[in-house]
Each structure stands twice: as structure tokens, then as C-alpha cells.
Amino acid sequence: MSALDSLLSRFQTVGNDLYMRSMVSMHGGNLSVRQDQNLVITRSGSRLGYLTEPDLIETGVTKDDENTKKASSELCVHRAIYQNTPFSAIVHSHPIHATALSFLGDMVLTEDEAGKLFIPKVPVVGFGKEPMPGGFAQEIAEALKTHAVVLVHRHGSFARGMSIEEAYVYTELLEISCRILYMVRKMKP
């Protein structure tokens, strides 16, 4: 299996898991990995649940090239994260319960055991401001230096890791913790 085939297979697994678990809509979300001075990111408008080889776009971490315009509209956020942190993989998704909680305050405090252990505090970047594609890149990168996953107000999550699978795990942990938080709040008299 070539390096590209292996990467495609890993992107397909993570993308499909995100889609099947309702953490992205058909054309929502994006994935990337860093490879030295380049990054491989999902194509603008690609369907994470059904990725194929043309959906993987390689371009520079700092420099534009002929592929740059094909990359996800969130490329500038991915670039800012790679330029400011040591991490080598990013998952951006729109998990329903986590995104709903991003409407309520500038920090989500998880309460279930797994959440408290791995992601006790999740900052909500841009709270109270208008979300925009590719917005808050520097703020997101800064928050990811000390938090494995962050939310963007009324938008979704960015998780980082040393592999795409690790970034996925933090994304899923976040959504599970936020779903529990939502349910506990609904059940309280």
C-alpha cells in the first residue's frame, strides 16, 4: 500500500465515523495532517463520509501553490494551528450537542468521568461574536496549545493530535460529554 493509499484509508475511516455519528453534515467538516512543510487537507466541498483520492489536497503549511485554492475553506485555521503548535493532525467537525452548548458561554466544563479526565475545560472561541468560515484562526491555534479540543461559537469543534485518529477521539469525547451535559440539564427538575 502506498503512503497516499494508507493516508486515504485513515481519512476515510475517520470521515465516515464522523458522518455516521452525525458529527458532520454531508459537506461539512474537514480533516488534515501535517507532513513536514506541507499539509494534506480535505478538498473544499468534499463529503467526509465518502472521501476518494481526489479529495485529499496537498499544499504548503506557509506557502500557497496551485493546489491551495482547492483546499477546504478552513485552510487558514489549519495552517495557523500547524504554525503555532507541535501537533500534526486536525479534525474539524460540527457535533450537534457540543455546538449547541457553544451558544451558552465562553467555556464548557464537562461533568462525566471521561470528560473530566481528558477534556475538563473546553474553551468557546469567539463567544458572542459572529462566526465566519476560516475565522478566529489565531485564537483557535492559541487555545489548542493547552486544550486538546476547542469549540467555536455557533459553529463547531477543532481537535488536534499527533494522528488523525487521536484528534478524532477528542472530538468524539467532546460530543459524548456535551450530550450527557445536555441530557442531565434536561432531566433536572
Q: How far is the CB of 140 from Zn ion (least distance, A)?
A: 11
Is residue 15 close enough to count as binding Zn ion by CB under 5 A?
no
Q: How far is the CB of 113 from Zn ion (least distance, A)?
A: 29
List b or e across 159-177, with b for residues whose CB sees 16 or more CB atoms inside 10 angstroms: bbbeebebbbbbbbbbbbb
CA 79 to chain centre: 13
End-to-end CA distance of the chain: 56
Binding test (CB under 5 A) with Zn ion, winner from 95, 115, 135, 156: 156
Q: Interaction with Zn ion in 55-84: which residues (CB under 5 A)?
A: none
Q: How far is the CB of 37 from Zn ion (least distance, A)?
A: 25
Q: How far is the CB of 92 from Zn ion (least distance, A)?
A: 6
Considering the complex, state which of residue 45 and residue 120 has its C-beta at the smaller distance from Zn ion. Answer: 45
Cα separation, 12 vs 115, whole angstroms: 26
Local structure of residue 71 (DSSP, 8 states): B
Residues that contact Zn ion, how many (by CB under 5 A)? 1
Instruction: List interacting residues with Zn ion (CB under 5 A).
Output: 156
